[in-house]
Amino acid sequence: MRTRRTRPVLVYDGDCAFCGTCVSFAERRLRPRCESVPWQFADLEALGVTQQRAEHEVVWVTPAATVYGGAQAVAKLLLSTGGGWGVLGALLTLPPVRWIAHGLYRLVAGNRDRMPGGTPACALPTERRPAAGPAPSPTGY
86-122 pLDDT, tens digit each: 999 999 999 999 999 999 999 999 998 888 777 777 7
How do residues 15-26 score in pLDDT, each as one tens digit?
A: 998 999 999 999
Residue 54's domain comprises 9-120
**In whole angstroms, how far apart are CA 137 and each of 6, 109, 140, 141?**
61, 36, 5, 6
Whether residue 127 is contained in a domain is answered as no
The pTM of the whole model exceeds 0.75:
yes
DSSP string, 66-77: -EEETHHHHHHH
Phi, psi torsion values for 67, nearest 5 degrees: -110, 130
Residue 56: inside a domain, yes or no? yes
Residue 129 forms part of a structural domain: no
CA distance 76 to 59: 10
Q: Looking at the domain assignment, is residue 125 inside a domain?
A: no
102 belongs to a structural domain: yes
According to DSSP, the β-strands at 67-69 and 35-38 are unpaired
pLDDT digits (tens, 9 = 90+) for 37-60: 999 999 999 999 999 999 999 999
Q: How far is CA 21 from the centre of its chain?
A: 13
Domain count, the chain: 1
